[in-house]
Amino acid sequence: MTTLSTHVLSTATGSPAAGLEITLKRIEPHPKDLGVFITNADGRVSEKLLSDQDALPGVYEITFHAGDYLNGLGLELPEYPFLDVIPIRFGISENAHYHVPLLLSPYGFSTYRGS
């Protein structure tokens, strides 16, 4: 069974990124919007990101709406923030667990395939 999770950590605050909006969609095959999610106090999404019927091999995009989150921290940011919306495209090729974490600051981010 294929599963998907994410975790967002703010390197600007040294804590989980609670209240950050995330959207998920399948790009191919059969494009589909799969949901809008909000991270919890631990920087994770409490709900299941992919239903069993939506967990197909293919290309997906998880989008982190970082600008709204970073603005909400009360940090001094420019009128047009360097990071606003961060889309990450990734492939699902096998029945396995996929974890797409995000380390976030106002001027940089990193991701990897976690466990």
- Per-residue pLDDT tens for 14-71? 999 999 999 999 999 999 999 999 999 999 999 999 999 999 999 999 999 999 999 9
CATH code: domain of residue 13: 2.60.40.180
Contact 101, 7 (CB under 8 A): yes
pTM of the model: 0.95
Q: Which domain holds residue 62?
A: 3-111
In angstroms, the CA 50 to CA 60 distance is: 11
Number of domains in the chain: 1
- Angle formed at CA 88 by CA 40 and CA 37, multiple of 5 degrees: 25
